[in-house]
Structure 1
Amino acid sequence: MQRVRVSSHQAPVHKLGDSQMTLSPKFRFAAIQSSLSDPSLELELSRRGEPLIPGLPDDIALNCLLRLPVDSHAVCRAVCKRWYLLLGSKEWFFTWRKELGFHDPWLFVFAFHKCTGKIQWQVLDLTHFSWHTIPAMPCKDKVCPHGFRCVSIPHEGALFVCGGVISDVDCPLNLVLKYEMTKNRWTVMKKMITARSFFASGVIEGMIYVAGGNNTDLFELNSAEVLDPDKGIWRPIANMGTSMASYDAAVINGKLLVTEGWFWPFYFVPRGQIYDPKTDNWESMAAGLREGWTGSSIVIYGHLFVVTEHERTKLKVYDMDTDSWETVEGPPLPEQICKPFSVNCCDCKIYVVGRNLHVAVGHIFRLNPGSTLEKKWSFAVQWQVVDAPEAFSDLTPSSAQWQSPFN
């Protein structure tokens, strides 16, 4: 196991931008004005022969500057006027990155303060292992962070936050918010048809599906709906075969898998449902799949993996042919990653964000079959730990979503 120290000096966390958000009655969000720098000024500076980097053509210099980690922008803006113009506007900065085809992955972590319950987003640059923030998603009322569901559409650089619940009155929400990386701002989308919390969510072919959860009377729901992000329209889909809140969900082979999960001690066998958008039909989950789903899931190499919460936090993988789970070779989750944790993946790596926002990066390897007669692949994992700044010591993750925009 390899450990990576982000910074020995605990550098301050910088914000991507400021916000002045308004939304009533429960939330206030900013309508952020476009802050693109004046292109005419940039053109004038270039005509006066002021290079971005002395000795380099501007196209090469721009390619270099667009690789700067976001947490260094505040300092770098002081170098010269052209750097100030380029790095002073996140909208312009990301527009240039999009034009040049940059798609460095970021991990968006929805976290809350364990004492105050205040929610916030922290972003880990997976290339530089540096942290920064995005505009706040403030809430006047105290909410339960776990009641929200967050999904991302990486190739569009879009992050969605749906539902939630107000803690004081146990009132679920039907709010839907969208964060766009290129604009560095939150916008309010059309509300869900049904207010819900602790529900399942997933993205299939660019469409956002939600199902189940708790309603305003805290009864479990069997309803489900889908959002077309381009049109901003929700429509109902077939109801689930049973009413239940969701413990975890995953999308595999174009289907949404929903499980209510195990609760310790294991008094009740968990239920599970699978939705096929092609037929608009739900079916019961296989017994081995739902009974072995004892943690947070990710899909890699077309296989469903789970970071277990009860079996020494080992990683295991589901075998569809035998309806059984197998332990992945390698060590368990590093001890520094304390529960509760949130899990996501990018390419062939698993990112597990634990309490205090320390991150375990699991490299998944496919092992060749032992013989020519054996067709089944097996897997192994190696872990490394990215330590978070001490400033995050009171933060607990509720969700983690990766973005690799502009693919």
Structure 2
Amino acid sequence: MNRVKISSHSPVQKLGHSQLSSSPKFKLAAVSSQSSEAQSMESSPLIPGLPDDVAISCLLRLPVRSLPNCSSVCRQWRQLLGSRERFFTQRKLRGLSSSWLFVLAFDRCAGKVQWRVLDLSLLSWHTIPAMPHSDRLSPHGLRCLVLPDGALLACGGAVAGTDRSLDMVLRFDLQKDRWTSMNRLLTSRRFFAAGLIGGAVYAAGGSVADLAELDSAEFLDLCGGEWRPMPSMLSNLVAYDSAVLDEKLMVTEGWTWPFVFSPRGLSYDPKAESWSQLPTGLREGWTGPSVVLGGHLFVICEHENLRMKVYDKESDDWEAVAGSPVPRKISKPFSVGGENHRICVVGRDLHTAIGEVKRSDRELLPERKKASFSVRWLVHDAPQSLRGSTPSTALLLHG
């Protein structure tokens, strides 16, 4: 095995160094009896014909799934691409950022849950390290959200094939590409309401063993890292869906067959530290998975041909979003995620519809009494390797 030493011809530049613009070379030379081979390796560019700083920018834009193959091209590429942690760290140092759709999916062939990630810029799928105990984790009941620093938080859930609820709390750091355990929930729970408000994560309701419903609630102070109790809900409630709107945690139990009784719904105001009933129109019109875009609550209707609608707070009513329903390629079960003006709907086999939501203010349409929204869909077909996967959670992260 050849030893490696640092060449003394010029100082070594670290990746992300402020002087990268001067097109430095990687100065790693193998100790060999053939000095010409070492000199050739020293002077070889990362990509022939390109300055190394430009080459690095190109390599840092590669699809994540291609990193193992690309890192075997040469020693210099392996230094940059051989570690996902190093790859994402260098992207961050260079100000590069992409949108990633994280989907928690159950793989019927493998019989376990797995996080799949869609690069929304390159439309390329890859995986991340498995969550601890994912081989015995149920795909349903877990609650996930994005933290202010861009990390993914997963908490609660259930053991597959049992009625046992979990109190686990896990954090995935995109830059470090690994999971870490955090302080556990005060109460084991699944199918509960969860949301991020200010610098705290809130968890309320849900169920425990024997499907007993909970009215307890708690919050995690992200600065202190400890879970603390908070006022109990007005009634025991298992959450079908929840959302944060106007700095309040909204939760609905959803409609159930035969649709005779109006679903219950509650709202928690952290400032007042109190619970209240959801407005009637909001409760009765909340008929599918939701996402908040630009301060507005949107829903993909499960019982209305997967049409999209938006809640109007002034009238306590729902307005249909102009445009076609979610494309037929997307079939149930499906999950919804999004932010800003983009919504993503992931269906069976992980086929994904990406919708661009536009708003026409009343100033532009003076004949209308309220804002109008429209959506335009683009469908991304998942590769054959993802067939048999069903989604349970979808979130957007950046990095």
- Scaled by the length of structure 2, the TM-score of the pair is 0.86
Alignment of 1:163-202 (within 5 A): 163-202=156-195
For residue 213 of structure 1, what is the aligned residue in structure 2? 206
Which of the residues 55, 64, 69 maps onto 1:61?
Answer: 55
Match of 1:21 in 2: none
Structure 1 position 349, deviation (Å): 1.0
Aligned residue among 11, 27, 31 for 1:44: 27
- Deviation at residue 140 of structure 1 after TM alignment: 7.3
Instruction: Provide the rounded CA distance (Å) in 2 between the counterparts of 1:107 and 1:179.
Output: 14
Following superposition, which runs of at least 4 residues in structure 1 exceed 6 angstroms of deviation? none
- Preserved contact between residue 114 and residue 395 of structure 1 (Cα < 8 Å): yes
Q: Within 5 A, what are the aligned runs for 1:253-292?
A: 253-292=246-285
Residue in structure 2 matching 1:321, options 314, 337, 345: 314
Give the C-alpha shift of residue 354 in structure 1. 0.3
Distance 1:116 1:88, change over 3 A: closer
Q: How many residues align?
A: 366
Whole-angstrom distance in 1 between the partners of 2:370 and 2:88? 43
Unmatched 5+ residue regions in structure 2?
A: 1-13, 18-24, 30-38
Provide the secondary structure at the position in 2 that maps to 1:173: coil
Matched, 1:380 2:374: yes
Partner of 2:144: 150
1:317 is displaced (CA, Å) by 0.5
With over 3 angstroms needed to count, the CA separation of the structure-2 counterparts of 1:54 and 1:228, relative to structure 1, is farther
Aligned residue for 1:97, secondary structure, equals: helix
The reply to whether residue 361 of structure 1 matches residue 354 of structure 2 is yes
Say which of 292, 298, 302 aligns to 1:309: 302
Distance, in Å, in 1 between the alignment partners of 2:248 and 2:241 is: 14
Specify whether residues 140 and 56 from structure 1 end up closer, same or farther in structure 2 by C-alpha distance, changes over 3 A only: closer
1:248 to 241, 245, 253: 241
| CA RMSD, 1 decimal | 2.2
The alignment-based identity, stated in percent, is 51
Cα 1:56–1:140 shift into 2, 3 Å: closer
Partner in structure 2 of residue 73 of structure 1: 67
Tell me how far apart the structure 1 counterparts of residues 232 and 103 of structure 2 sit (CA, whole Å). 31
Match of 1:84 in 2: 78
**Structure 1 unaligned runs (5+)?**
1-35
1:119-145 per-position Cα deviation (integer Å, ceiling 9, x unaligned) = 111110010000000011253764431
CA contact under 8 A between 2:114 and 2:134: conserved in structure 1?
Answer: no
Q: Secondary structure at the match of 1:329?
A: coil
Distance 1:242 1:380, change over 3 A: same
Code of the residue aligned with 1:300 in structure 2: it is L
Would you say 1:393 and 2:376 are equivalent positions? no
Shift of 1:264: 2.7
Q: Which moved more, 1:125-134 or 1:225-234?
A: 225-234
CA-to-aligned-CA distance 1:260-303 (integer Å, 9 cap, x gap): 11113202211111111122211110000010000010111211
Instruction: Using CA pairs under 8 Å that are at least 6 residues apart, name the structure with larger relative contact order, 1 or 2.
Output: 1
- The amino acid that maps onto 1:86 is L
User: Could you tell me how far apart the structure 2 residues matched to 1:261 and 1:311 are?
Assistant: 14
**Matched-pair contact (CA < 8 Å) for 1:157–1:182:** no
Larger gyration radius, structure 1 or structure 2? 2
Residues 281 and 104 from structure 1, CA distance in 2 versus in 1: closer, same or farther, beyond 3 angstroms?
same
389-398 or 211-220: which moved more? Answer: 211-220
Rounded to whole Å, the distance in 1 between the matches of 2:72 and 2:136 is 39
Task: Please give the secondary structure, in 1, of the residue aligned with 2:191.
Answer: coil
1:104 maps to which of 75, 98, 116: 98
